[in-house]
Structure 1
Amino acid sequence: MPKRIYLFATSKSEHATNIKSLDVRFLKPDIDFSKYDYLIITSKQTVKALEQYDKKEFIEIPALCVSAKTAVAYEEFGGKVLSVGDGYGDNLVKNIKEFSKDTKWLYLRAEMIASDFVKRSQDEGYSIDDEVLYVSECSKEILDVRVNDDSTLIFTSPSSIECFLKNNTIHPDAKVIVIGTTTAALLPKGVKYQISKNTSIESCIELALE
């Protein structure tokens, strides 16, 4: 009998039991977009948060997007994509280095972030400001869920692991799939896992179905 697949994410898949890992609360700080040459966007939630603002204030400012999925979401919103990362926030430093240190960046982010790419870029002389556009909190769904010992567990963010482990443990018989190395770093020591080929939910599901 195939293992039951649990997907802990904000998106869904027909092949899995979908557990929303986070509830998102949007913020709207005052931002003078005219001060910046480029934006940095690392999630689709950031794009949703930008819906609160007058598009005319920022829509002509190209954005460095962390992944192809995020870039598509921003383009569908009407924005211009400057460059696309490989899906890992830690690796955005190399994208930023393609531009002059005179460039002024604005990183639009969540309250809690796993990567330190901004500090590393700033330490090398790049000008990057940041603004918190949303707060993520553990959803009731993930806090209440109980899984079979031999289930397949797909984690798509460090916070999805943190929230799951508040009321659950990962059994040795479980098959664990993570979307990337940053997420994998949050797993308890000794837990065996696999990393999806690409940083996408589709890639995680493909691995789960193998």
Structure 2
Amino acid sequence: MHNKPIYLFSVSSHPDAVHVNSLDITFFQPEIDFSKYDYFIITSKQASKALQQYEKKEYIKKPALCISKQSAKSFEDLGGQVLAVGKGYGDTLVEKIKQYPKETKWLYLRAELVASDFVLTCKEEGYCIDEKIVYASKCSEALLHVTVPQEAILIFTSPSSVECFLSRHTLLHTHKIIVIGKTTAKALPKNCSYTLSDETTIESCMQIVGKSHEK
């Protein structure tokens, strides 16, 4: 096993890393007439959790276009059917949406703040997407007050986990930085060296740690 401590800034944990919950989540329950829509767009596990506040029979027959394997799994865990899966970031959903007729009615269950403007891109081209804000996230107290050793390996799993970290801490050249996807990488300071995981999963990030130790 490598001797550098691994710090995982994420809502989810991993047994081989020091887990620092990056966000505190608040759920909302806006009124939604599910019968108006053909499909959901789901870009996080939190969106599936937010759905649990509603009558299951009202929404469960609507398939969902999911941004990643994890968001797809979270919807399937509810008993939902996955329409298609993107490559982990919003821009990859545009081509998926364009495979359906413009009359298709989509409902994007989203966070208060989102990192990608894929919905705007689709709307400008005449696609029908409604948005409902079903949760908000803010920097967690745990992340704001964590002490990270100079030689640590840092894994960031969302743009907000990077932004929250940088609001109180500094990335050092002695840190090894691993990010879960391109949108997360964009949140890093310019000229900051990092490794991008092969897949948008925590497991994929942890495999990078294992490989670098083997060298």
Q: TM-score, normalised by structure 2?
A: 0.95
Q: Which whole-Å CA distance do the structure 2 matches of 1:203 and 1:71 have between them?
A: 17
**Where does residue 32 of structure 1 map in the other structure?**
33
How far off is 1:132 after superposition? 0.4
How far off is 1:58 after superposition? 1.1
**Where does residue 166 of structure 2 map in the other structure?**
165
Matched positions, count:
210
SS in 2 for 1:74: helix
Identity in percent: 54
Q: Which whole-Å CA distance do the structure 2 matches of 1:59 and 1:192 have between them?
A: 43
**Where does residue 53 of structure 2 map in the other structure?**
52
Q: TM-score, normalised by structure 1?
A: 0.97
Q: Which whole-Å CA distance do the structure 2 matches of 1:208 and 1:21 have between them?
A: 20
SS in 2 for 1:145: coil
Q: Is the counterpart of residue 209 in structure 1 residue 213 in structure 2?
A: no
SS in 2 for 1:184: helix
How far off is 1:73 after superposition? 1.5
Uncovered stretches (5+) of structure 2, i.e. residues with no partner: none
Q: Deviations over 1:95-149 (max 9, x none)?
A: 1011000101000011111011100011111010100000101111000011111
Q: Which whole-Å CA distance do the structure 2 matches of 1:200 and 1:124 have between them?
A: 31
Higher deviation after alignment, 139-148 or 82-91: 82-91
Q: Which whole-Å CA distance do the structure 2 matches of 1:90 and 1:146 have between them?
A: 34
Q: Deviations over 1:123-176 (max 9, x none)?
A: 111010100000101111000011111210000000000111111000011100
Structure 1: 4+ residue segments shifted above 3 A: none
Q: Which whole-Å CA distance do the structure 1 matches of 2:53 and 2:13 have between them?
A: 25
**Where does residue 103 of structure 1 map in the other structure?**
104
The one-letter amino acid of 1:46's match is A
**Where does residue 129 of structure 1 map in the other structure?**
130
Please show how residues 190-201 of structure 1 align to structure 2 within 5 Å. Answer: 190-201=191-202
Higher deviation after alignment, 11-20 or 63-72: 63-72
The one-letter amino acid of 1:80's match is Q
Uncovered stretches (5+) of structure 1, i.e. residues with no partner: none
Q: Which whole-Å CA distance do the structure 2 matches of 1:68 and 1:194 have between them?
A: 20
How far off is 1:209 after superposition? 2.4
